[in-house]
Structure 1
Amino acid sequence: MFESKDHALSILKEDHQKVKDLFDDFEDANSLREKKKIAATIIQELKVHATIEEEIFYPTVRKEAEEDIMNEADEEHHVAKLLIAELENMNGNEEHYEAKVRVLAESIRHHIREEENKMFPDIKNMDIDFEALGQELLDRKEELMENNIPVSWEEKMITSFWNKKEASSTKTKAKKIMPSLQKNGKKSSSKRNGSLRSAH
């Protein structure tokens, strides 16, 4: 069956292709600066895409698609959100930064195959207006691009963990530095006292 460009499935497939191309661009990029810029775009696209699927598309088609497929899609979104949240808390210079982007790419490519090869064929003959659904997806997508994307609980959890980790790391460094500072302070004090005694 022919799908117009305004068909909900066409819109989602277009998003899929855009993200796959961005992951390819990430691999082809020659500098860390360029990779970080592409990764930021990937994250933005994925967060918007996941939101319109979870808010609009999945609830609409869930009753027709196989339950296992829908549940797997939910879990794949969950895994992707955890990776995205970790990447958002990194500055790009970490040892595992690029590896984490590649793991995200593998996860997303698998998710896309599951949707396009299993979920979409199951639901394409549903008795709903896919063009109207597509317009709803586009409207929400535009709204998300213009405003802040809702913060997921995965993002809140990872950010909280990351902040605690950073605070703990800072505290540990401070404990290591303090004895050295105190020792140096005592040496300086002794030198000053010695200089004063010599002057007298």
Structure 2
Amino acid sequence: MTVIQKTLTKPSAPTKAQDATALLRADHKLVSGLFEDYQKASTKSMKKKLVNQICLELSVHAQVEEEIFYPAVKQALKDHEMVPEATVEHATLKSLIAQVEGVEPDGEMYDAKVKVLCEYVEHHVKEEQDEMFPKAKASKLDMMALGEQIATRKKELIAEKG
């Protein structure tokens, strides 16, 4: 089963409760795999299918972080730097997504945009996983409750967008 098939069946599969950072890390890993598949893709149709899946996954992920995770982390940590920076990075990611989502793969500029999106996502993920997630886990946040909220909202968003 390919990564795309796994992601398309994921929303209906029963899932056990996970803490918020575990869910977000799973999203990071999934998208990383999709980018790897893109690099190996040889046809325009496969590239387009992968990019559409990457864009959906990133859009849903960013939205649940902005709606649920970031506000909770900002409040718990009384943070005025890390969360605003991550929010600005999301704005840049959304701009890059808009440049490739629904667009026909047309050669080197398209591939370059996807590569920059991949590198930007890798940078953002590293900061979240190395800085934000450990601080959030060390706080008094109820990571299981946040995880449940994120999982529920993701299902809603995938049903809307997918």
Normalising by structure 1, report the TM-score: 0.69
Question: Where do 5+ consecutive residues of structure 2 fail to align?
Answer: 1-15
Corresponding pairs, count? 146
Pairwise CA RMSD: 1.7
Secondary structure at 1:107's aligned position in 2?
helix
| 1:109 equivalent in alignment to 2:136 | no
| 1:27 equivalent in alignment to 2:11 | no
1:99 corresponds, among 103, 106, 112, to 112
Normalising by structure 2, report the TM-score: 0.84
Deviations 1:62-92 (A, max 9, x none): 1316432212201110110001111125222
1:139 corresponds, among 152, 155, 161, to 152
Secondary structure at 1:23's aligned position in 2?
helix
Aligned counterparts of 1:42 and 1:114: Cα–Cα separation in 2: 20
Change (3 A) 1:5 1:117: farther
Aligned counterparts of 2:25 and 2:78: Cα–Cα separation in 1: 17
Match of 2:83 in 1: 70
Match of 1:16 in 2: 28
Deviations 1:78-126 (A, max 9, x none): 1100011111252222541111000000000000000000111111122
Structure ranking higher on relative contact order (CA contacts 8 Å, 6+ apart): 2
Secondary structure at 1:6's aligned position in 2?
coil
2:70 corresponds, among 45, 51, 58, to 58
Question: Where do 5+ consecutive residues of structure 1 fail to align?
Answer: 150-200
Query: Radius of gyration: which is bigger?
Result: 1
Identity of aligned residues (%): 40
